[in-house]
Structure 1
Amino acid sequence: MEIKEPALKYETGLWPTEFINWERKAETKHEYVDGRIIDMAGASLWHNRIVSNIIGHIYPFLSGKTCQIYPSDLRIYAKSKESYFYPDASIICGDPEFSDEIKDTIVNPKVIFEILSPSTKDYDTGIKLYYYMQIKSLQQYIMIDSANLIVRSALRQADGAWRFQELDNMDENILIEPIQCILQLKEMYDGIHFPNDLQSLKK
């Protein structure tokens, strides 16, 4: 039996400034895209395990450096699209830049990670991918599928174009170019066992 993570969407009459004021008082997290509010429901165990694996490997690598990695409570504002997101993990280099004087929403992520679930995959690889690509500071967007052994990367080139890469083997590595950190897929997927168990990492 497949259990999916719900991502409820509903229309709102709120303008972006009205949304962020409402969101700051809300008890749960919501994203805001094109006037729609997306409820950020709780994620699966595997989803959280992948996030923990990524942060666990990158955090010590960045110790003493000017870049830092942050978990999913950090809100990102895509200014040109007037949209708000909560990536599963984000890397910021240098001083954080904020959307307003309250200083709880970032506008300058360098790298963003999203863990794809069955119910959010189309959203994360569709409109969210496009909107993330409009963030001027963003250099790399990494999408990790939690139901299949697939990692996708979108990397901004010097001319502004994006280069896409797809990896599907535990022995492959992905380079997080803005921080020059190499992650093995087996490190990302440590402890994850896929339904058919054909590609799961054996301990």
Structure 2
Amino acid sequence: MQTTTLVTHEEYFQLLAKSDVKLEYNSGEIVAMAGAQPVHNAVTANLIAEFIYCLKLKNCVVLTGDQLIKVESCDRYSFPDLVIVCGKPNFEKSTQGIDALLNPEIVIEVLSDSTEKYDRLEKFDCYKTIPSFREYVLVSSKMKKVEVIKKLNEAEWLSHTYTEKDEFVLIGECTVLMADIYNKVDLL
């Protein structure tokens, strides 16, 4: 029989402050996040560049994968690949100096074999409980494919899948070229 030692939020933040890797918190359990592959990193960097350019004149901020977010209703802290907040970001302050974002609006995950199921199901179910959350974007690291899931109301979400046949991808207020999302990925 396997036993799990659960940790408090304070213990989690103490571990996180000392850790060389990203640690996510899920109802008392700590999960170490593995480093990403080069294609994942390139796609993420391309997305960051596109959103910073698109949103530079808007009242929005783009936060990278080092931004911790808190999902109160699921007792979870996680590190999505990219987060967009329009308006003033709100943070939960920890005694360790690590601030967790409370009001993400658009969350973007670049999928890998090891995280796709978790990102699609468990993480998405938790993100849906955040009142400010309105759009979830899943970006493939294996092919030109982007799934944008938009909140219609509390009970309904609309999914649109873009593929290599699509020239543009609409995410939030940004129209991004599919070619720019996957720029230079074929070199890796």
**TM-score, length of structure 2 as denominator length:** 0.88
Which residue is 2:125 aligned to?
Answer: 130
Which residue is 2:69 aligned to?
Answer: 76
Q: Does 1:119 align with 2:114?
A: yes
Contact persistence 1:147–1:194 (CA under 8 A):
no
Runs of at least 5 residues in structure 2 that lack an aligned partner in the other structure: none
Which residue is 1:91 aligned to?
Answer: 84
Quick one: structure 1 residues 170 and 46, their matched pair in 2 at CA, closer, same or farther if it must change by over 3 Å? farther
Letter in 2 for 1:40: M
Which residue is 1:23 aligned to?
Answer: 16
Letter in 1 for 2:169: I
- SS of the equivalent of 2:44 reads helix
Runs of at least 5 residues in structure 1 that lack an aligned partner in the other structure: 1-9, 196-203
- SS of the equivalent of 1:27 reads coil
RMSD: 2.2
Which residue is 2:169 aligned to?
Answer: 174
The percent identity for this pair of structures is 29
CA distance in 1, matches of 2:125, 2:92: 20
Which residue is 1:54 aligned to?
Answer: 47
Deviates most, 158-167 or 79-88: 158-167
CA distance in 2, matches of 1:42, 1:170: 31
CA positional deviation for 1:34: 3.3
Q: Which runs of 4+ in 1 moved over 6 A?
A: none
Deviations 1:22-68 (A, max 9, x none): 32332321111233322112111100100111111110221132101
CA distance in 2, matches of 1:152, 1:11: 35
Which residue is 1:164 aligned to?
Answer: 159
Q: 1:147 aligns with which of 142, 151, 169?
A: 142
- SS of the equivalent of 2:92 reads coil
Quick one: structure 1 residues 51 and 95, their matched pair in 2 at CA, closer, same or farther if it must change by over 3 Å? same
Deviates most, 167-176 or 46-55: 167-176
CA positional deviation for 1:194: 10
**TM-score, length of structure 1 as denominator length:** 0.82
Deviates most, 96-105 or 51-60: 96-105
